[in-house]
Amino acid sequence: MKKIYANYIDSFSGLSKEIWWLALITLINRAGTMVIPFLSIYLTEDLDISIGNVGWIMTCFGLGSLIGIWVGGKLTDVIGYYKIMVFSLLATGFLFIGLQYLTTFKTLCLGIFLTMCVADMFRPASFVAMSAYSKPENKTRSVTLIRLAINLGFSAG
């Protein structure tokens, strides 16, 4: 088991410190976003929103994510990955704080949609950053580390 663990860790050796920082930030970002899927329990039990309406709110989650990734990619091309990543991380924090004050169906739909739009703007920017900070021979391993951080962050959340 120790040998498997050592081989696994060795597979990511040689990556730049920027890639490791990006992976850590991505892990934390994804852990925070994991709050949204468990929102359905809060919506049904505390706010007494019907299951059907919770389904629509979760649809807003998915649509916000889809639009956010697209907008994030477009904006990354225009103003650069660093600004998009910083904006996404800071604004998402404030939007999550604001979500606690939304209690009606329409405001929750809009709030979840907007939060996910801004939160998922981070994804394309992070992959552009990964490409910028990674040597050509390390790109596959860098993508693997970032994807691992996304999945582990979502699981940890």
- Kindly tell me if the per-residue pLDDT of 63 is higher than 90: yes
- Kindly tell me if the per-residue pLDDT of 61 is higher than 70: yes
Q: CB count, 10 Å around CB of 86?
A: 12
User: Whole-model pTM?
Assistant: 0.84
- Residue with the bigger pLDDT between 33 and 26: it is 26
- Kindly tell me if the per-residue pLDDT of 144 is higher than 90: no
State which amino acid sits at residue 79.
Answer: I
> What would the mean pLDDT of 108-130 be, rounded to a whole number?
93
> What is the C-alpha R_g of the chain?
18
Q: What is the mean pLDDT of the chain?
A: 88
Please say whether the beta carbons of 22 and 126 come within 8 A.
Answer: yes
Domain range annotation of the chain: 19-156
Q: Tell me 42's DSSP state.
A: H
> What would the mean pLDDT of 6-14 be, rounded to a whole number?
77
The region, left, alpha or beta by phi > 0 then psi within -120 to 50, assigned to residue 14 is left
The CATH class, in words, for 19-156 is mainly alpha
